[in-house]
Structure 1
Amino acid sequence: MSLHTEDSQVYPEALAPGTEVGTWRVMDRLGVGGFGAVYRVEDMARPGEFYALKLALRPGDERAEREVALLMVKAVHRNVVRFHACGRWPHSRTGHLYFVMDWVAGRPLDTWAEEVNPTFRELVQAAGKVALAFDALHGVGVLHRDVKPVHILIRESDGEPVLIDFGLGDYAGAAPITEQTVPPGTLHLRSPESVRFHREHHSRPGTRYAYQPTEDLYALGVSLYRVVTGHYPFPPHLPPDMLYLAIEGQMPPAPADFNRRTPRALSDILMRLLSKKPRERYPTGAELHAALMAAVSFGEPAAWDASLFEWDEALGTELEPGAAPRRHIRRPEWPTSSGTPPAPSWVIAPALPFRRLERGDVVELGQEPPVEAPPVQQRRRSPVRGGAVLLAGVLSLAAGGMRLLEGGAAPDARVPSNGVARPAPLREVAPVEALPEAVPATAPPVVDATAVAAARPAALTKEDAPVMMKSKPSASASKKVGMKAMGVAGACLNLACSGPQVRPAPPPEECPPGALEAMKELGIELGDAEVFVFDVIKGEPHVITVREGNAIVRLGDEWKGLRGGGLLYGKLHLADRVYGRFTWLQVKKGRSYPVCIELLTGDRKRGLERKPGSDADSAIIWTTGYANPVDHFE
């Protein structure tokens, strides 16, 4: 059957099998969207070769023309569907635009996750390739703008991910084709910043939102969250107003908190992708890829080789006689508690022998803040036991990290009926993407944590001091630095020490292959130690609690080969001290190198000092020290 005449009634969304469009014969329809219909077609010149043909629903559709330009010229990549031909139908000049692409025999990302139930390692390998594809596309100014699971196909033949459907795509220099405030898109995958812009500017004619590359990565994070949990972070069925409020103001529960099979490092990566502020996400696909590869490389193999979900097989009367068991995943239940921290409150904390922070105080790495001596006169005793004073504050719990904001208080603090608040318990902290993998069997923790008694504040020791103060600061500089860093350190509440540590120091270990050559290429000389800071710290050195396992630290640009600094990936070993061995370096431009670097304290001792309050399974440490290049780990 052929439809070639202008008199024929054209229904581009409902072509029957056998319809000829140019030199292509329709076999079956694959799907219909808001702007085009997609068919599986056969090349009539080469019977048996099948492709996908997308036909615009309206003649002269500018979206279809832009998609052709993207796939034919701009968005050429091994993980983007390949373009073959284009034309107009049924008339060669006035008809509907169509174009032909590879027919990708495979499943959408979410369907693949539920029907194949791959391992976390297989998922991360696919996600890493998608991240690199976005890095390449964004590098030439191409934006997808409609990233979702059905637009990422996993090819059956080789497991490669393939990006499809650039119908809402854009590229640098392209003319706008809509008058909307924000680009069209899928509501539950919109970024918080686009939702905020729409709320603030929807009534202003001519105001246009500038979509950013980080929003493609945000939508990828939403898609991966759906894959590893079986749920979207923000329910698509909500009314638009409620959905927008959730996207803009709420954090979903961490995947590892209800799909207990999820490696903690992967859960942290996804939560960083879903950060409300773009600057807190991965800025490029290359950095996301590096984080994913580091998480797998340094993680426990058993956790990454586990399937995403448990299988739940249908047996017995549900099956026909002699039929093989049908399997489907056991989808984790969505937790009833929100991931959004509660509102700020007042909390009683131990009195600190430091000057109160003033607005405008800043912390500068390399300077030691002065300690303010207590007054000579006897202090008036407070009715609260222990001489506590009232402080206002917010304890901000970030993914994999904790920091005390100026004027903040602990959100987990409990206020009993007698009106005397108790301090919140110390939360464990580790760098982003660096928490050890675990698959606990217990139920998710409840929102309300039980408060514990506060221990002594951790103090700066002589091992820490050289890192905080490389040269003697002036009086004005000391006043500027103030007590912010030390105030944060003093406000971290420690748990009582549980006794002597039993773990031995890590055994000697050779450097990874190529590490010495890579360090030489980068101008990193053996013994030339430079300052590091744990990646979770945002310019405020203090104490944190860490466990044995993966870690990331951030370097400055002191080494001549590091323009703009870099990230070190490695492991922490808990013994009499905390020994850090780092074997992977990612530079600012995204390239990675094998390295051989250990952590030193401020006075150049191997291993970081364990602060009072450390126990057998965790250690309280200072967040800065020296990264020391070595030719082997002692």
Structure 2
Amino acid sequence: MKTTLEDVVQPGMVVGGYRIEKKLGAGGFGKVFLAWRDGGPCALKFIHLESVGEWGWRELFIMLRHEFPNVVKLLSHFKWPEEKPEYLVLVMEYVPGVTLYQWARDSNPCARELVEKLLPLSRALKGVHAREVLHRDLKGDNVLVCEADGAPVLVDFGAGAMPGAPRVTGALAPANLRYRSPEAVAFFLREDRKRGESYDYSVRDELYALGVILYVLATDVYPFNGPDDELMGEILDGDPKPPHVRNSRVPRALSELCLHLLAKAPARVPDAETLCVALEKLLVEAKADPRWEVPLCYGWTVDGRTTEDAPELVGHDPEAWLRKWIRQKPKRGRPPAPPVVAPAPPEPPATSTVPTLRTRVRRAAPVLVAVVGLAVVGVGLGYVLGQRQPPPSSPTPGQPVLTLSLPGEFSLDDPAPWATHVHEVAPPWKPPEADAGATPPKADTPAPVTTMTLSSGTTRMKKKAPGSQEEKEKKGNGSTGANVLLAVAAAANMACPGAQVRKEPAPQACPAGAVETMTRQLGMDLGDRDRGILGDRGSVDLPGKKKGSNESVPVKDGPISLELKGHFAVGTDPMGRGGRIALPDGTRLSGQLCIGEKRVYGRITQAVTPAGDTFTVCMELYDHGDRGLEIEPDGGAVKVHPIADVRAVDRFE
């Protein structure tokens, strides 16, 4: 098993004179730990020399040469361990606080507060650009809001650039696709782009990324979203919905500035100095207009009404209800603490004699047997009667049947409004606090998930009116067939499973845009199947693997979430040396497990890096060059070897 940095750097140990307290986070090029020395805190960023050292030297070169306001400061650096150095360690100042996006979630700011955060950040960029330095990975997660004074602090110059800094190959600087400018996307998709040619990132690209940040803070959604291929097309079109249209609480002047930042060059804001002047004018306007003081999203207060209001509209004007829901915004701010209710004292027994559990079971057994018997007979009788009933007749003229026509801004062909938000928003059939967060919990063995899809002919949503024939059947005995299905399903779940005949999964095409993303954006080699040459690969541990053990682990059909162990490197030599990082260590891979007759197959369709960059991919699990993992004899649960390779492919076999 490959040793990870977390296996070596443990809380309490001393590294280069700094005592480690805990891990703070991870990015594409390093992992950061909180440490202490001489009674003061600092942040240690560990950068692996062999795999991503070039990026570390760039960051060190930039930070050694300059100090900027509202930019994290470099305190020191060293190589570690001293005997055989494997890591470059950057000692940075510790900024206690949260990311800019988390600050917005927690505080639910008004428009004025957004400008007050962006103005010092823009001044910092003005100073950075004046020294010919470019950050090149500007996003909300790379801006921290200081806990002490609320000042924004720009962090992580690992992808930065300046004249004289060590050069690193790559068509584009590593960054989240949502923050790339139309010019960068056009360069990436250019047919005549030469091999090894790099995009000339500029100040205008940086300001476009800042425009994306402003859009997210103001509306809680990205200006463009969707799968990578669709996302690139939308960025190229460059026509985002104005922030004040998405969110009526956004002042028109702030919305226009945001669109100016997201405009195609040369119509975009030209430099950070111009942006600072525009933000200063907005602050003056904000002082004279009370609308700038209104929180941009609903808070956890009485004005934050959600779909819990549905009963007052559904059945009367469902279209108005849907329009109302679409205008809702996700809740921000800290929810109020739930009321503390003292448990009621237990009631004393009616008599002095309390029957034991065994006595109660013995008394209830005949009743339970009778109830189960009657239920089985009732289901069978209901099914027979149900078959004799005539089919439901079509509604007579004048009978109220509501057909819900969707409003213009809501289309089933577009991404659902509750799916495009940065922060999780409830769909219209449940309140936002009904479910847990979107991040899947880690489990030893993921539970199988049943998915439901609409038929290809479904084009609109319908709701049956109260009093209609279908509604009466739901309340009466007309839905006997559905009841029988439920009863059969329940009986099947309670019964012992019989022998299963497993089949090999059918071949399947890769997700749309996955091959292009892997080859052109990530630089992966898919290999040559006809000659038996396999493409680039990484390594993963299956859920349930015990540390230091290669004991087989049980698996099930259904969704799977895995984590890369080590970097997914591309362009390495036969000894695994050189190359560059396509997906960093700790990248979360999501997909599906399919259990065949003799092997278990894993199909990976999404990769999310520790920095939050999301890619649509097409990968399969391999074991020693063979597709799938061999099922090991056990006689009970399906078990496989706990370590697997993950390889980039051009189709699922």
What band does the TM-score fall into relative to the shorter chain? 0.3 to 0.5
**So what's the TM-score if we normalise by structure 2?**
0.45
- Select the structure with the greater relative contact order (CA < 8 A; seq sep ≥ 6): 2
**So what's the TM-score if we normalise by structure 1?**
0.47
More strand by share: 1
More helix by share: 2
